[in-house]
Structure 1
């Protein structure tokens, strides 16, 4: 991959030598899910000691990575003013992406970090929370995390009925292993910001993609499409939308609360095959 001329190779190589394996793992996680809170980083990277000691160590690590310029700390604090530095949100900087390109855990296309609107941050953090939960369950032996692809690596495309290019843009694609069985899912995290007709259009697009047979030809199975929502009323609303879809396509979907995501993904891969 070509490195931007504004970041000298010697600087990138020298900086990478100063980073520990844990530092690089944090950068890789930020590359994967785009945003992480300090609490997420503590759960992912600082797993021993008391909760207070772990938070302090995570704070020190992220302050150092921010000063080195490999991460960006956003001005918004989640949890209100009282949360202090514990409520900071972090993203991967251009320099951090360059460090990963020079031999870090992940390569891939660089993405610009920007001060996005609170809604987009909340949405990305909700997706990141699912990722953190899956990593924690993987450590406990409650399901092997075989793959977790966030946007845009998980995007799919196919040719529509009129010959047009149609894209599927899930929030994540997940493969879990349990008891010698793989469960794969497309994840849609819903924070009640889209209308139910929009949800219906998205769901129909997944059915159209299933009918194209492209995913089955590539993967051998079509993933379950799992909608994760915040409230029971929203769950009921999306379930009613799914109930109005074609009967042969309804089995592709599952709807649950955000907190139930890992459980649903671990046993919700009975998607239709070709």
Structure 2
């Protein structure tokens, strides 16, 4: 059950909080979990590395004391990571201050009470967002949209008329000079079976064939699988290679560390038909 919040407290904090604390809360709402280091890279850019970390730690401690964020018991990166590896989630009061529901858009919930695998997955998606923001800050690209779950989910009718939900990990839209790129992103931690990967790909193909995204946005986003190593990359590429030839251009597979550079590069010629919104066969 959701705990009752003191009446008026959220409204008071909404007025009293400064721009920076509110920005951190909004980032936590978008990404669900962030480490201290990720918060620092997103929101505190001036000063020496040590002073930036110290100010970030103070800010998060203050938000925790106000009951707006919750710190997980885990530390990412081991003992050497120290407080820079603490993981934070938005509390029910923090959600109330932002006037939003839980991460699924419904009632407020304790988003930090998840299994380590799901936490790692959330943080991997968050890392992609942080790195794209860093590229934007360097003037290399414009991050026009980043939708995490469930904002990036798509609803459509399946082959039998049943309601089907496509659940990518993120939707990204990037622009730079003369080009624009949109993509559905799947962050893979090599924990799902290849038949599961194939089923996900088939669902993307079904959504592409529905034409809904093309009508809505004029293009169908590239589907980018980000994976941890070369072996996993080869396995997923082999799985995609077994799909219908006309749909193979929907997908690309890359190492997670190469994801931001891939997403911020011009669309390749072999994906141009899909990105231009050409009607599927």
Range class of TM-score, shorter chain: over 0.9
Q: In the alignment, which residue of structure 1 is the partner of 2:236?
A: 238
Determine if contact 2:34/2:89 at 8 Å carries over to the other structure. Answer: yes
2:58 equivalent in structure 1: 60
SS in structure 1 of the partner of residue 183 of structure 2? strand
Alignment correspondent of 1:217: 215
User: How far apart, in 2, do the equivalents of 1:131 and 1:9 lie?
Assistant: 34
Instruction: Kindly indicate whether residue 8 of structure 2 is the aligned counterpart of residue 19 of structure 1.
Output: no
1:177 to 175, 178, 196: 175
Q: Does the 8 A contact of 2:24 with 2:39 survive in 1? A: yes
Shift of 1:111: 4.3
User: What is residue 71 of structure 1 aligned with on the other side?
Assistant: 69
Q: What is the aligned counterpart of 2:89 among 91, 101, 107?
A: 91
| C-alpha distance in structure 1 between counterparts of 2:48 and 2:160, whole Å | 59
CA shift, 1:262, in A, is 1.2
Q: CA RMSD in A?
A: 1.6
| Correspondence for 2:152 | 154
Deviates more, 1:108-117 or 1:18-27: 108-117
Kept in 1, the 8 Å contact 2:45–2:52? The answer is yes
Q: Kindly report structure 1 stretches of 4+ aligned residues shifted beyond 3 Å.
A: 108-111
Cα distance change of structure 1 residues 110 and 147 upon mapping to structure 2, 3 Å threshold: farther
For normalisation by structure 2, the TM-score amounts to 0.91
Q: CA deviation at 1:101?
A: 1.3
SS at match of 1:61: helix
Q: Deviations over 1:105-141 (max 9, x none)?
A: xxx6454223211111110000000000011111111
Q: What does residue 35 of structure 1 align with?
A: 33
| Equivalent pairs, count | 266
Q: Which runs of no fewer than 5 residues in structure 2 stay unpaired?
A: none
Q: Deviations over 1:57-115 (max 9, x none)?
A: 1000000000001111111111122322121000111111111118xxxxx64542232
What are the residue-to-residue correspondences of 1:198-213 with 2, within 5 Å?
Answer: 198-213=196-211
CA distance in structure 1 between the aligned counterparts of 2:229 and 2:3, rounded to whole angstroms: 48
Q: Which string of whole-angstrom CA distances, capped at 9 and with x for unpartnered residues, describes residues 211-263 of structure 1?
A: 01011111111000000000011011111111111011000001001111112
Q: Displacement, 1:17?
A: 2.6
Cα distance in 1 for residues equivalent to 2:57 and 2:124:
21
User: TM-score, normalised to structure 1's length?
Assistant: 0.93
Answer yes or no: is the 8 Å Cα contact 1:97–1:110 preserved in 2. Answer: no
Bigger drift between 77-86 and 255-264 goes to: 77-86
Of 133, 138, 145 in structure 2, the residue corresponding to residue 140 of structure 1 is: 138
Separation (CA, whole Å) in 2 of partners of 1:147 and 1:90: 23
Q: Following the alignment from structure 2 to structure 1, what is the Cα–Cα distance between the partners of residues 260 and 82? A: 29
List per-residue Cα deviations over 1:135-187 (Å, max 9, x = no partner). 11111111100000000011001111112111100000000011132210000
Distance 1:134 1:83 in 2: 23
Task: State the SS of the aligned residue for 1:251.
Answer: helix
Distance 1:211-1:139 versus aligned 2 partners, 3 A rule: same
Distance between the aligned counterparts of 1:228 and 1:252, measured in 2? Answer: 14
